[in-house]
């Protein structure tokens, strides 16, 4: 039910995803991943806990086993819209209101020149948030975005390569995954190439490249 919900989530069908995860929660109330998935799905669906459409019940397979201990959170409960809001490793730089935007931009451009694209991205996003009318900042963001995509594509390598899971399902459930990362993992079956995964992803190409690179880097897949 978790995987079926991730498939619906990846296709943009929040109602069906919620229905699957509600059924999973009914079967295993102690599963923390289910609660986290539902929290994000309801938030993206407008915040209201709408009644999900019922799915056919799962056939009984005998007496249920004793619930397992709560798993670690499967992902940070924050909706993902595109790569702009993707959580990054390391501290997130927050600027105070009295910071000089031009100084912030110079710091970002220096980071860009030195190849520290994530840092440049975060600082430029901070300026864009406080001064959305600045077209120069939007232009710089596009430059950095392109460089980030190219660096991830280089890290991934041959897009005709078939990816396979390196860890067990139990280990996957302990990872702090965003829903789109969970969807990507659910598609890796030992037959799909990286190019196939990019084509089926509902995220933009830059975000998809980032997710695949992260999964490879963290040795979740090979």
Q: What is the mean predicted confidence (pLDDT) over 129-134?
A: 90
pLDDT at 35 exceeding the cut of 70? yes
Which of the four pLDDT bands, split at 50, 70 and 90, describes residue 177?
A: confident
Of 36, 55, 79, the residue at which a domain comes to its end is 79
Residue with tokens 């309801």: 42
Residue span of the structural domain in which 201 resides: 169-217
pLDDT at 12 exceeding the cut of 60? yes
Most confident listed range (1-10, 37-46, 62-71, 184-193): 184-193
The DSSP letter of residue 185 is: H
Which of the four pLDDT bands, split at 50, 70 and 90, describes residue 49?
A: low
| Tokens representing residue 41 in the block | 């799905």
| Tokens representing residue 199 in the block | 């084509």
Do both 16 and 72 map to the same domain?
yes
Do both 74 and 87 map to the same domain?
no
Q: Is residue 179 part of a domain?
A: yes
Tell me what pLDDT residue 89 has.
Answer: 41
Return the number of other C-beta atoms located less than 10 Å from residue 130's C-beta: 14
For the chain, what is the mean pLDDT?
78
Q: Is residue 159 part of a domain?
A: no
Do both 29 and 99 map to the same domain?
no
Residue 29 or 91, more confident: 29
Cα 217 → chain centroid: 15
With beta carbons less than 8 A apart as the criterion, state whether 161 and 193 touch. Answer: yes
> Full-prediction pTM beyond 0.75?
no
Tell me what pLDDT residue 62 has.
Answer: 46
Q: Is residue 90 part of a domain?
A: yes
The DSSP letter of residue 31 is: -
Tell me what pLDDT residue 80 has.
Answer: 37
Ramachandran category for residue 126: left, alpha or beta (phi over 0 → left; psi -120 to 50 → alpha) = alpha
* Residues facing residue 165 across a β-bridge: 221
């Amino acid at each position: 039910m978790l995987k079926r919900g991730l498939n619906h989530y990846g296709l943009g069908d929040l109602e069906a995803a919620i229905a699957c995860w509600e059924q999973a929660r009914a079967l295993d109330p102690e599963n923390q991943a289910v609660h986290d998935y539902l929290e994000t799905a309801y938030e993206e669906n407008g915040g209201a806990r709408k009644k999900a459409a019922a799915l056919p019940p799962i056939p009984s397979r005998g007496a249920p086993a004793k619930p397992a201990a709560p798993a670690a959170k499967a992902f940070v409960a924050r909706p993902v819209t595109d790569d702009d809001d993707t959580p990054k490793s390391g501290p997130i730089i927050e600027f105070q209101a009295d910071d000089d935007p031009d100084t912030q931009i110079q710091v970002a451009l220096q980071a860009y020149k030195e190849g520290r694209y994530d840092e440049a991205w975060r600082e430029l996003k901070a300026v864009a948030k406080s001064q959305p009318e600045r077209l120069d900042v939007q232009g710089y963001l596009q430059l950095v975005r392109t460089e980030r995509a190219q660096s991830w594509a280089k890290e991934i390598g041959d897009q005709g390569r078939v990816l396979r899971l390196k860890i067990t399902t139990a280990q996957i459930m302990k990872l702090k995954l965003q829903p789109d990362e969970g969807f990507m993992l659910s598609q890796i079956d030992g037959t799909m190439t990286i190019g196939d995964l990019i084509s089926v992803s509902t995220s933009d190409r830059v975000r998809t490249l980032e997710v695949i690179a992260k999964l490879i880097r963290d040795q979740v897949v090979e």
